[in-house]
Amino acid sequence: MQQQMQSNQMQQQNIMPQPPTIITGKDQFYISDMLSWNLLAMKKAHFFAQQCTDPEIKMALEQTGQMHQRHYQQIISHLQNPNQPSQSQLQ
């Protein structure tokens, strides 16, 4: 029990107040994966929405595709302006 409390205290002390100024290779691969996953999900949602005949399902697929597009664009904006807060953080 005492070890768990010490572990929790160590984790709380290691909280970073802001992101680091460098991106490691592992970070870069993860960011690349996030971009790829969102782009693929956006394309698939758009494709299946075009194939769908049920208007409710079609609308849900289009909204899903738009959500993934927003996520993709947010990631890109964070990479382009790493020191500026995004629009969602300002609201």
84 pLDDT band, cuts 50/70/90, is low
- Sign of the four-CA dihedral 60, 66, 69, 71: negative
Higher pLDDT, 87 or 84: 84
For 8, the token pair is 């929790």
Q: Can you tell me the mean pLDDT for 37-52?
A: 97
Q: State the average pLDDT for the chain.
A: 83
Report pTM.
0.66
The percent of residues above 90 in pLDDT, for the chain, comes to 57
82 pLDDT band, cuts 50/70/90, is low
For 37, the token pair is 């996953």
- Alpha-carbon distance of 19 to 12, in angstroms, equals 16
Higher pLDDT, 83 or 53: 53
- Alpha-carbon distance of 46 to 65, in angstroms, equals 6
Report whether pLDDT(88) > 60: no
